[in-house]
Structure 1
Amino acid sequence: MAPYDRRTGGSPRPLKAGDTWWYAAVAGEAADSFSTRVRARTRRACLGAVLLLTLVYAGLVLTATGRRWSDAAVTGRRADTRVAELVRDHPSLAGAATLSLVLACLVLVGTGLVRRRYALTGAAAGTVAVSLALAGLLQRYAPRPPADGTAGALAPSGFPSVPATLAFGTAFALTVLVPRRSRGLAVGAATLWAVALGAYSVAAGDHRPGDVISAALLALAVQCGLIALLARRGRVRPGTRRGTTLRGLPATLPLALLAAGGLVAGFLLLGDTLGLPATAPYDPGELRLAHRCGQALAAGAGAAAGLVLLALVRHVDLDGGPASYRLGGPFVEDSGAPEQGELVGPFTENRDHEIS
């Protein structure tokens, strides 16, 4: 038996000129195979999320203008009377936010266990753990300019936000556990919850808008990496193209409106809030505008991250193994393959198919 035969645990060899088409199909290495296309686009999405995360870090953490805008967005919560009254009159929101994170983790694990998807449950929980570990490493080791002592009672930089990372990571991890027909509704609703949780952390002054944006991008990058790995192992297959869009519309439509409205409003307000003076005193109106700009950008970026993930797996079935191969034509008939209707592989019935 040749060392490349996968029945004996051999490693796949690179494709060369003259290789048969069925070997490339079974190996999942054909340039136009479904697994290859899914792996390519999720890998590009992962790299794009990492690039955007780097740009957010460089713009809002390393530059003086970005730090000044972030501090103004946090300070502006006091100038925004509606936000200040909401946080002051409802102190139980902090406990509710923490409880919702715990319940979300239980729902994530429970969904996989009830559906008996034990391997995917471990993979989904692993993505959440990896996201949290990366967030902790970035908070601890990412270089930051020293504090100048003029920020007052502002919270220290928490780039990226750990609670927001946990929220978005849990929401995005549902992608591989929820059935495809309910994926849009479940992931969309969970993303809306994560966006609301991030908005509360900014309103409470616990985190800056850039911390929430970076958390969504980090969770997106890790989840795209998992889907690319599943595609690399051939664990994806095409899904039906009917009946899924309308089921998820109650969640995806508000998510799309939030993404478009938040990003457009945030970028329009950003030009009016970047010209803050380098030293106090600040105009309360400018601080309030900076806070609303930060909230809009954080909400829009989080919603957009969820929409990108749903778009990447729109026609991808992650619930099960790869599709079985079925051959037809004179080659199969002459080789003595089983009758039509039975699932067959690319080889003859007697399995005498040493690959050299």
Structure 2
Amino acid sequence: MASYDRPRAGGSPRPPATKGTWWYAAVAGEAAGSFSARVRTRTRRGCLGAVLLLTVVYAGLVLTATGRRWGDAAMTGRRADAVAVTLLREHPSLTGLTTLSLVLGCVLLLATGLIRRRYALTGLAAGGVVTALAVTGLLQRYAPRPRAADTAGLLSSGFPSAQTTLALGVAFGLALVVPYRLRSVAVGAATLWAAAVGAHTLAAGQHRPGDVIAAALVVLAVFCGLLALLARKGKVRPGARRGPAAPGLPVTVPLALLAAAGLGAGLWLLGDTLALPATAPYDPAELRLAHRCGQALAAGVVAATGLVLLGLLRRVDIEGAPTPYRLGGPFVEAAGVPADAEVVGPFTEDLDHEIS
């Protein structure tokens, strides 16, 4: 009991057992080393790191001539990639299926939150998706870039990719509305789907690899900011040690392999593809290599962002069941409250305690 909390005259000089009371828990939640403060710090650092990486990607792949040449080569190289050409020719319905999957993903996100009656978090998840799409649209419209004529007749830069932003936004939004034990399964599977959506946009020539990479970083920055806001509001709680890790292994292991293989292969091939000549003609083998390098890097970055989000939310329960606080001590005993009864509030009915 603090020095300014004193029992009334005639009360017991023995301080009450205040461990676990709600007001001490509230004060502990604002402490520098509290659980909420740690979650807020790491999610805020994740947001700032994603923004920094987004700036590096924009400067390297959009503003520099070498980055633009590599992106153009990756887009042109899809025609020289027999695997991509054959897949799109034999399955022309993939474009329609991709659009339908995006619509179903949005419906799944909203339905999951509404069925579980997590209305506030459902609205927050939907707001995160809308915010990411808004940032994507603003970057596409107002971010400085070279003129379309500089791209030699190719598609103008769609930096970042709206399709990948929507798909990965739905994947990250599921982290707010699904049960704690199913988070790894839901987010991991949805991230794999988002990587497939990004790969289709590259194979179809709708976006460059840098557009998909930038979309993943935009979504990561937005949702890390939302998680930092939730932690600041005290809406995060320690999760169970046997949480979503073990049930999610069938999904997170392939996601980790995709991230490692994609980033490793993409960075290994990047050195060769950046050495393209400044002017045409280009070797078709070099263009095909640039396309595969872009596919690997984009898939690796999308998978890595999903793993980063799951790592930031490790053993973090969002808006879980409130921690049951119990009161004890002489004041509760004097009021005749049974030992196993729950007491709501810091004071008993006889108000045998005052705070001055």
> TM-score, with normalisation over the residues of structure 1?
0.88
For residue 247 of structure 2, give the secondary structure of its aligned residue in structure 1.
helix
Assess, with a 3 A threshold, how the Cα gap between structure 1 residues 352 and 98 changes in structure 2: closer, same or farther: farther
CA contact (8 A) 1:236 1:321 kept: no
How far does the alpha carbon of each residue in 1:295-327 deviate from its partner, in whole angstroms, 9 at most, with x for none? 000000000000010111120111435534445
Q: Distance in 2 between matches of 1:174 and 1:342?
A: 37
Decide whether the 8 Å contact of 1:188 with 1:255 is kept in 2: yes
Aligned residue for 2:271? Answer: 271
- Match of 2:152? 151
For the residues of structure 1 that align with 2:319 and 2:243, how far apart are their CA atoms? Answer: 17
Higher mean C-alpha displacement, 33-42 vs 197-206: 33-42
**Post-superposition shift, 1:250?**
1.1
CA distance in 1, matches of 2:334, 2:222: 45
**Distance across 1 between alignment mates of 2:335 and 2:152:** 79
5 Å-filtered alignment, 1:325-336, equals: 325-326=325-326
Answer whether contact 2:22 2:325 (CA < 8 A) is retained: no
Match of 2:166 in 1: 166
Aligned twin of 2:201: 201
* CA displacement at 1:284 relative to structure 2: 0.7
Answer whether contact 1:180 1:319 (CA < 8 A) is retained: no
Inter-CA distance 226–264: structure 2 relative to 1 (3 Å threshold): same
Q: Which structure has the higher relative contact order (CA within 8 Å, separation 6+)?
A: 2
CA deviation after TM superposition for structure 1 residue 219, in Å? 0.8
| AA aligned opposite 1:323 | T
Which one is further off, 139-148 or 289-298? 139-148
Kept after mapping to 2: 8 A contact 1:38/1:231 = yes
* Structure-2 change in CA distance of 1:22 and 1:244 (3 Å): closer
Q: Unaligned regions of 5+ residues in structure 1, if any?
A: 1-20
1:130 aligned partner, one-letter code = T
State which drifts further: 102-111 or 223-232.
Answer: 223-232
1: CA distance, partners of 2:336 / 2:211? 59
Corresponding residue for 2:38?
Answer: 37
Q: CA deviation at 1:98?
A: 0.3
**Contact 2:267 2:297 (C-alpha < 8 Å) held by counterparts:** yes
Alpha-carbon offset, residue 353 of structure 1: 5.5
Matched residue, 2:314: 314
Give how far 1:147 is off: 3.1
Structure 2 counterpart of 1:249: 249
One-letter identity of the residue aligned with 2:289: L
User: 1:63: which partner in 2?
Assistant: 64
Structure number, greater radius of gyration: 2
Q: What is the CA–CA distance in structure 2 between the aligned matches of 1:223 and 1:247, rounded to whole Å? A: 23
CA RMSD of aligned residues (A): 2.2
Residue 354 (structure 1) shift: 5.0
